[in-house]
Amino acid sequence: MTRLVEHRETVRGATVDDLHARAAALAATGCGGAIVALADMGVSPATTLLAAALEDAGVPTVLLTAEPGHTLARAVAALQAGPLCLCPLAADADASPAEVEAAVDAAFETIVAALTLDAGTLAARATADPPLDAVAPAADGRLRVARRGAGPDAGDDLEAVLETFHGLRVGDGLPVVPPTSERLERMLAWAPWDPGHVLVERLGPAGARLTVRDAALAAIMAGARPEHLPIVVTALAAMAQPAYNLLQAMITSHHGGNLVLVSGPLAREVGLHGGPGCLGPGFVANAAVGRAVNLALLNVGRAVPGVSDLSCLGSPAEWTYCFAEDPDRGPWPTLNVERFDAATTAVLVLKAEPPHGVMDFRSRTAEGLLETLVDCCTSLGSNNAYVAGSLVLVLAPDHARRLARAGWDKPRLRAHVHARAGRDLAHVATRGIAAITPRPDAAGFVRVTRGPDDVHVVVAGGRGGHSAVIRPWALASEAVVVAVLRPDGRTARSITDFLSTR
C-alpha cells in the first residue's frame, strides 16, 4: 500500500442511482481497494449497495458492519449483490472513538485479508447465504399450497394458505385473504395500467420491482375492494419519489409507519373515512388501503421484521395508517383544493410516528389552544427535535372551528407553528442521533420545520377536544403530495374512470 485516502460523504438519502454514480467516481480514481463504513443502522442498505457497486467496478472492497445493521447488510448483499466481504465490528452505535478504534484494531487482519486474499479463498469467506427467501418463487408466480380441505381451490383452504405464507415470512402476521387467480382478475379490472407497470424500482432489501400486479395482490390480501386499488397504486407511486427516501424508510430503526392521507371526492366515493374514529379500527377502506400499501412493501421489498428490518420496537402504524380528510368538517379549504382543485383527489404520504394525541378541552382562547398544539409538535424523543421535516396537524372539528372563529386560517397556522415549534439548542445538543447535528437559528432555537410549507393542516375526527400531531421520521424524507391520475395523466373525476378497458 503506497497511499491511503479517506473520503467522507454521507449516503443518507442517496438513491440507488446516486450510489452507483459514487462508486463509479471512486473507481475512476484508480484505487486498488476500498473499505466502506459503516453498515450499522439505517444506512446499512446504502452502504452495502455502494460496496457492491465498487466490487462490480473492479475494486476489491470490504464492508464494515456493526449491530444491529450486520444482519440487514447480509440480507441486502444476499438478495441483491451475491458474495460480498462483510467485516463485523464489535462496536455499538454510541461507542466512543476509542472503542471504535479498538474494534477496528481487533478486526484489522480480517479487513486486510478481504482485500488481499485470492479469489477462491475469498469466495468461500464472502457472505452469500440469504437469511430469508432461500426458496425461489415458482416461474409462473403461483404458490403451491398443500390443500387440507375438500374445496376445489387451494385458496379455499385458509388454514393451509396462512400456514404456507407464515412459513415463508410473507404477510404482516395477521390473517390475509388468499390472492387467488379469480380474485386477482377482479382486482385488476380496476387497474387500467399494464399489470407489469413498475411503480417502484429496486425496492427494499430485495432490490425488486414493485408492479401494479404486486399492488393488486397486496390489496387482495389486505381485504381491499377492487375500487380501492387506484388509491393504493397512487400511494405507492408517491412513495417511490426520491424525496420519500424509501430505501431507508423501509428498514429504519424508527417506529414509524407509512401514512396515507387522502383528500378529495374519490376518498368519499371509495368509502375512506375522515369522521369520528378515523385513525382507529372499524373502517374497512381505511384499514384495507393502509394495510395494502404496507403489505406490498413488505412482500416485494422483503423488509422482514427481525431479519432485514431494523425497527427496534415496531409500531401499530406499520400494519395500517390511512385516513381521509372530511370536507364537511372543517372551516378551511381542504388539502386537495389547496394543492389542486375541488374535483381532484390528493394523496399525501409521509413516513411518520403514530399520531400523538393533543387533548385540550379547557382552553377558551385560540392562543391557549395553539400553545397546546405547538407543545405537542415535538419532544426530546422525537426525530424532529433534531432534524427538521414535515408534520401533519390533524385538527378535530371543534378545535378547527375555535381557531377559525378567532381569525386563524391555514397559512397563519402554518407560519405560527413553524415559528414556535422547536427546542432550545441546549436541550438537544447532546441527545438524539450521533450523525445528526441540530441546526439552530441565531437565537439558538432549533425548529422542527424548515418553513411554513412543512406544516400540513387537515380537519378530521369527531366532536370533542382531541386533535393529533403526526410527527415525521424526517431523515432525508419528505411528505409527498400527488394527485390521483388516470394512466393517461388526466385527473380522475370518478373512481369508475379506472375501470379497465384492457
> Does 380 lie in the same domain as 245?
no
In a domain, 53, yes or no: yes
Is 281 in contact with 275 (CB distance < 8 Å)? no
Amino acid occupying residue 236: L
- Look at residue 140 in the predicted model and tell me its pLDDT: 77
> Does 311 lie in the same domain as 452?
no
Question: Domain residues for 104?
Answer: 16-125
Average pLDDT score, the chain: 91
> Does 401 lie in the same domain as 330?
no
> Does 46 lie in the same domain as 191?
no
Is 218 in contact with 187 (CB distance < 8 Å)? no
In a domain, 277, yes or no: yes
The DSSP element (H or E) to which 24 belongs, if any, is helix 16-27
In a domain, 147, yes or no: no
101, 125, 149 — which closes off a domain? Answer: 125
In a domain, 303, yes or no: yes
In a domain, 1, yes or no: no
80, 101, 125 — which closes off a domain? Answer: 125
In a domain, 133, yes or no: no
> Does 391 lie in the same domain as 270?
no
In a domain, 418, yes or no: yes
Nearest Cα to Cα of residue 51 among 4, 90, 11: 11
> Does 409 lie in the same domain as 278?
no
Identify the CATH number of the domain in which residue 50 sits: 3.40.50
Residue 283 neighbours by CB under 8 Å, 6+ apart:
271, 272, 273, 277
125, 150, 185 — which closes off a domain? Answer: 125
> Does 185 lie in the same domain as 328?
yes
> Does 326 lie in the same domain as 399?
no
Separation between Cα atoms, residue 371 and residue 85, nearest integer Å: 53
> Does 294 lie in the same domain as 169?
yes
- Look at residue 147 in the predicted model and tell me its pLDDT: 66
- Look at residue 191 in the predicted model and tell me its pLDDT: 93
- Look at residue 156 in the predicted model and tell me its pLDDT: 59
> Does 375 lie in the same domain as 273?
no
E-assigned strands of 366-489?
391-395, 422-424, 445-447, 455-459, 466-470, 480-483
- Look at residue 139 in the predicted model and tell me its pLDDT: 78
Separation between Cα atoms, residue 110 and residue 399, nearest integer Å: 61
In a domain, 193, yes or no: yes
pLDDT tens digit sequence for 383-404: 999 999 999 999 999 999 999 9
Separation between Cα atoms, residue 446 and residue 263, nearest integer Å: 31
Sheet with 466-470: list strands edge to edge: 356-359, 466-470, 391-395, 455-459
- Domains in the chain: how many in total? 3
Nearest Cα to Cα of residue 433 among 471, 470, 474: 474
> Does 303 lie in the same domain as 228?
yes
> Does 365 lie in the same domain as 337?
no
- Look at residue 132 in the predicted model and tell me its pLDDT: 76
Residues of the chain with pLDDT under 70: 1-2, 127-128, 130-131, 147-156, 500-502
3-class DSSP state of 446: strand
Calculate the CA dihedral of residues 382, 314, 206, 88 and round it to 10 degrees: 80
